[in-house]
Amino acid sequence: NVFDYYTVGDELGRGAYARVHKAVNRQSGETVAIKFIDKRRFKLVPGFDVDGLLREAEVLKKLHSPYIITLHDVFQTDDELAIVTEYVSGGELYYRVAKRPYSEPDAKKLMMRLFLAVRHLHDRNIVHRDIKPENILIASPADDTMVKLADFGVAKTLGYDGLKTYVGSPLYFAPEVLRRKNTVHGLGRYGMGADMWSLGVVMYIVLSSLPPFDDATLARHMENVPFDFSHKRWRGVSEDAKDLIRGMLNSDENARLTIKEAMAHRWLSGVVVDDAADGGAAAAALRAATAATTAGDDADEGGAGGGAAATEVKKAKKAKKEKK
């Protein structure tokens, strides 16, 4: 029983099938957050499976990244699941970007930390499937670029044949996830590219406090989702930032940037986050590795790893494969 181990305090928020409370570990005195999931309501959501959630929780307990909320423990009764995680005090990114956009220097630090979190997942074949500002937490009010990825309720380990369940939040759905829903028998698969699309939407919002498109536009134009940078808030934003967003919001999942290619993009050149062992140094090493891999293909572009160059490399590989 979770109440034997934790003193449960104020409610921090609630959703359709869960509520979150602040709590204190009775033995250590550590402040934590506990998400209570109503199993009956959870089962009513298409694609949500309590047994699957428990299996994934065991995997997530083994994740150790300063940019991912630490999962401490999971308790369950006949009616509820109680997921115990670390507590952070800065609130959701959602409320921060609702006030004003981030400056580009701050956005670079924030996105690098998010990329490091997603790389940690993708290196272990885990797809988050619900990346959005509401699931990105700010560690402290003192630094709104220090973020942690949270809410792994629909995270899934990627199998050989990809993922097929229609889950997530509509505005952040990749086109291939929507296509999965709209086929007669739910045909099709998707993978890590779905997370990359969501990161593209998040980056667009971080730099403008505006969504790149609405749900209706996404649903109508799945093959080539239109978006632009015409709003006045984009006037002072660099072309490199826009290029990275375009690379992540590529409707063709085979040409979309991977997490390693996104981290190697020239927009993040020189960005160092020194608050973790896998922070700045690892990111710099990754950029160098990606540059070495693609240098032969895009030397004429003035350097490797740029979003446009990386996209062209992927298109060339795809065309070569189709030709064979």
CA proximity to 162, closest of 153, 174, 144: 174
CA proximity to 263, closest of 301, 298, 304, 225: 304
- Cα distances from 299 to residues 115, 263, 310, in angstroms, run 25, 19, 12
Mind spelling out the 3-state secondary structure of 2-67?
Answer: HHHHEEEEEEEEECCCEEEEEEEECCCCCEEEEEEEEHHHHHHCCCCCHHHHHHHHHHHCCCCCCC
Q: Flag whether 109 is marked binding.
A: no
Q: Which residues are catalytic?
A: 130
Which residue has tokens 């045909």? Answer: 187
Q: Quick one: tokens of 141?
A: 């009010």
Q: Quick one: tokens of 158?
A: 């990627």
**Torsion region of 32: left, alpha or beta (phi above 0 gives left; psi -120 to 50 gives alpha):** beta
Q: What gap in Å lies between CA 237 and CA 202, rounded to an integer?
A: 15
Alpha carbons within 13 angstroms on the beta-carbon side of residue 128 total 31
Residue list, annotated binding site for ATP: 35
